[in-house]
Structure 1
């Protein structure tokens, strides 16, 4: 299990079915694990973190639907996720992940975002396409 620490920016709960903008931001870091100075470890963990909440972000503008519905009334799956690393960073120090998901259409959702280190330097950018469709009755 990865010992994540996460602090959501604002009072956004992706499991809440209230309508909101398709935006989400959170600070995160991995604590209690020796990651050495191997960039691949830090990059892999940041890639994982950027994949976790894009679908929930895309669902925010849809009335009565949230990430809590995945597997219950919605089938969801990531169909493509790309990340670009711009400079070195450490995931065992705080990173800000900020994302938007401007479209849900044709049973797909699209989102993108950026990751910043604690000093505000852009360290990575990402984009994701996902499948989002109702469970057949």
Structure 2
């Protein structure tokens, strides 16, 4: 957890992943690629896809007060869809808003929206995941 990562993330209202408590089914964070990258739009799209999968699935854990960091949880992405609305730079800070309107029966449905610093919506995504506690 302490080594440099390719994506920088700053949670707005972080929870302690080692001592999770029940919380809102919404979370927000700022993120960007950790270094300047080429102008190619396809590269920015690929990096957005990579970054979007780093935090979205965990949104469904928040209402239950569970975290993958405690070792009691198994989770896997079942599907992940993305829509790119406008050009953006993945190496500039963007706001990632996340919500989980349904998380029950071992599955969680999560939605995300990414905005540039000026408030422009550039990407939307959905992800359904499997969430199981170890026996």
Give the equivalent residue in structure 2 for 1:57.
Answer: 59
Query: How far apart are residue 102 of structure 1 and its match?
Result: 1.5
Gaps of 5+ in 2: none
Say if 2:6 and 2:34, in contact at 8 Å, map to a contact too.
Answer: yes
Say if 1:14 and 1:57, in contact at 8 Å, map to a contact too.
Answer: no
Query: How far apart are residue 134 of structure 1 and its match?
Result: 1.9
Q: Does 1:68 align with 2:89?
A: no
Query: How far apart are residue 57 of structure 1 and its match?
Result: 1.3
Map 1:113-128 → 2, pairs under 5 A: 113-128=112-127
Give the secondary-structure state (helix, strand or coil) at the position aligned to 2:91: coil
Give the secondary-structure state (helix, strand or coil) at the position aligned to 1:52: coil
Gaps of 5+ in 1: none
Query: How far apart are residue 127 of structure 1 and its match?
Result: 0.2
Query: How far apart are residue 3 of structure 1 and its match?
Result: 2.6
Distance of 1:14 and 1:121 partners within structure 2: 30
For residues 17-41 of structure 1, the C-alpha deviation after alignment (integer angstroms, 9 at most, x for no partner) is 11110111111111324x2111111
Residues 101/14 of structure 1: CA separation in 2 closer, same or farther (3 Å cut): farther
Residues 14/101 of structure 1: CA separation in 2 closer, same or farther (3 Å cut): farther
Query: How far apart are residue 50 of structure 1 and its match?
Result: 1.3
Distance of 2:16 and 2:98 partners within structure 1: 13
Kindly report the root-mean-square deviation, in angstroms, between the aligned alpha carbons of the 2 structures. Answer: 1.7
Runs of 4+, deviation exceeding 4 Å: none
What is the aligned residue count?
131
Query: How far apart are residue 55 of structure 1 and its match?
Result: 2.4
